[in-house]
Structure 1
């Protein structure tokens, strides 16, 4: 399998407490992020078990050399953009050296142990400065579910299977996991009302997405071919692209979402590298018979053979009542990245085919990833059929859309026989009431 090396060995063990078998961050993962201790400035770190390894301190200690040191030097600022820009070579060298330093039996254990911080005592930040954010719509079951509510006999518009649909979003309101989200206010119009009203959204929703971090960019006017797109991807995260459905229904024609989306997006704070996800790459699922063949600029043999991912996705909800009763989060849905109709490489290629330049730290969203079944919906508007059929929770409550105090949790996990399972860390946020 392409990209598999000794760092993926399922038998590899770490000396770091609780790292072996960790649901998200065993030694086979080693994601990158930004953290701070107490009131200190953000600094680069690597998640391992329930700890964070201080990357700049590792460099100062003289434990890195060559391309690995070059990667760490690029991560000495308050964001990882320069490291993302370096591309795969230095990133792979850093991963290999980190794996060696954190494995059981390494002679440098005592020196490295001094550079670990307990994750519980750290604050996590956005891993990079996000210059631009683009949201795609590649989850075909989500597109069909939404379209069916408006066009039961013809849910997909004619362009969907020919072009990766997307729109440019707002980067300034993206926040890391744990930061609360304020219920937005905006215009909405009931179907039987003569005029719109202004106030807090009453149909607040989440969207289960995969985030894609851009590494090396491209020059303005120079498209990135599909076959070369993987070299421009620096990693992945979870993305909750919160949506005010009532505001969206009133404003989206003719230009698409605006206030219904730009109030907040939440991402998981760790960048899961392409190298860590190598065991979970799969062939792009074949298109149903009769679907159009992608145009040549979107078609690459290697991408079709291994450009998709097999990642389990979960959405959980914690309501104030569940929290007060000490009940576990209620799992609303379980989906999988297999349900993406277009690959990440096709998204990058289409984004740049007209000459648009991407820059290190840009973020792409896949759009909501839903499965074919009712319990695999990546948003409440699908799971409740537009609010007509509420979900019943373990506490006896019902939910059509999110209420104040609700907390949404997204999780992702790669599972494959013969390999260690890895996760993304949680993407979670509590909904606060609207500004008075």
Structure 2
């Protein structure tokens, strides 16, 4: 990833709403799939308050990627790798900044409020990792106070295979899941709706070119496998999980819904915001050789935030309450490049459009905890909201809003959009 003219902080767009936009200035240009009245799903990019229909400007773009960008999913385009992404970004930057191109492009703009967003890819596989060391420590301490981290944590990036079929784009209603749970006072489990529904603040990673079965991705090539980033909420039924997770891990507690933001923010857009990786404490083991290496600045300099809005708060006109805020790089013991190298080290094939979750991103401070399980200490310390309501876990009518911003001195800040979900019971 390199910084070029598309990152110029002086660059502005003739799309006026893009200039100073919190998420989508011309320095971002994230990919997406959307539909609008009378038109089926198609590829676009976000610019200010608008989406630019890429299929409608093929003459201006040239015919290099006409077929891939005409598809209702981005898998084919992401499979082309970084070269076409860079070229498309540079061309779009020129088209949207130079007034001379306005007449030929402006008619392809659609207001975001008039569009329906869809998943950007057809997701073949979804894997969720557990790279947030503070989250792992906080959760482990609730069950193993004297030994919160298991012995393997600092040697191997822990992950599990999730359910791709239930990944949905931001805004999908959260239907409270049912399953078996065993209350502490009960002798046998009972079946019913989860009473400990929770969220998990994560980042999602979209895979680009991937690898062939049996051919691992070396750590020094892992950066090239990343096509983009999004926000991810790994909704979790904590009471179901506590009963079912031994010995094989989460099942019904996780597979009912995973929410993602609709925009693919490319590595090229994030180039100015990459930073150093998590600094391992003295005495921690060095990564094994296949995990040791990668780019010089593999850390994600993103500020991630989770907010909660209850039904009572909305009826009273109150703004959402911030639950947490922290920097992703300060939470991630393992980098995205290490995740990819480990995922493929046994020959597992990652495919274009696959989705990988980082795991819950909690920082060391109390104001950066990425789940209610941590914030409420497993329900022992309920959170009091500005409305006077208390929450240990999510209630019907609660809405979670995840956001992320990339900020760096000398550069225009960009965002990942929102990842929303409301519990409907």
TM-score range, shorter chain: over 0.9
Q: Is the 8 A contact 1:71 1:91 kept in 2?
A: no
Post-superposition Cα deviations, 1:1-36, rounded to whole Å, max 9, x if no partner, equal x51000001110001021011000000000000011
Task: Tell me the SS of whatever aligns to 1:15.
Answer: coil
Match of 1:248 in 2: 241
Partner of 2:300: 309
1:363 has 2:362 as partner: no
> Could you say which residue in structure 2 is the equivalent of 1:340?
332
- Whether 1:151 aligns to 2:140 is no
Q: For 1:266-297, what per-residue CA distance to the aligned partner results, in whole angstroms no more than 9, with x for missing partners?
A: 00000000000001101113210000000000
Q: Which residue of 1 aligns with 2:117?
A: 124
Q: Deviations over 1:15-66 (max 9, x none)?
A: 102101100000000000001112531110100000000001110xx1012x
Task: Please identify runs of 4+ aligned residues in structure 1 that moved more than 2 A.
Answer: 69-73
Say if 2:163 is the partner of 1:170.
yes
Deviations 1:107-131 (A, max 9, x none): 1111111110111111000000000
Distance 1:72 1:49 in 2: 24
Checking the alignment, whether the CA contact within 8 Å between 1:412 and 1:424 is kept in structure 2 is yes
Cα deviation for residue 72 of structure 1 reads: 4.4
Verify the 8 A CA contact 1:71 1:83 in the aligned structure 2.
yes
For these two proteins, the number of residue pairs brought into alignment is 424
Q: SS at 2:138's partner residue? A: helix
- Helix, strand or coil: the match of 2:180? strand
* CA shift for structure 1 position 70: 2.4
* Matched residue, 1:135: 128
1:380 counterpart = 2:379? no
Equivalent position of 2:316 in the other structure: 325
Partners of 1:64 and 1:432 in 2: CA distance: 43
Q: 2:254 aligns with which of 246, 256, 261?
A: 261
1:84 aligns with 2:78: yes
Deviations 1:373-429 (A, max 9, x none): 111110000000001101111111110000001000000000111000000000001
- One of 67, 71, 90 as aligned partner of 2:65: 71
2:231–2:403 contact (8 Å) kept in structure 1: yes
Matches of 1:154 and 1:249, distance apart in 2: 18
CA contact under 8 A between 1:186 and 1:200: conserved in structure 2?
A: yes
TM-score, length-normalised on structure 2? 0.99
Q: 1:93 deviation in Å?
A: 0.1
Contact 2:278 2:334 survives alignment (8 Å): no
Structure 1: runs of 5 or more not aligned = none
Q: Compare 2-11 and 404-413 and name the one that shifted more.
A: 2-11
Q: In the TM superposition, what is the alpha-carbon distance from 1:106 to its structure 2 partner?
A: 3.1
Deviation at 1:212, TM superposition (A): 0.3
**Structure 2, unpaired ranges of 5+:** none
Residue of structure 2 equivalent to 1:49: 48
2:16 counterpart SS class: coil
User: Structure 1 residue aligned with 2:422, among 418, 430, 435?
Assistant: 430
Find the counterpart in structure 1 of residue 384 from structure 2.
Answer: 392
For 1:203 and 1:399, locate their aligned partners in 2 and report how far apart those are by CA, in whole Å: 10
- Is contact 2:95-2:101 (8 Å) kept? yes
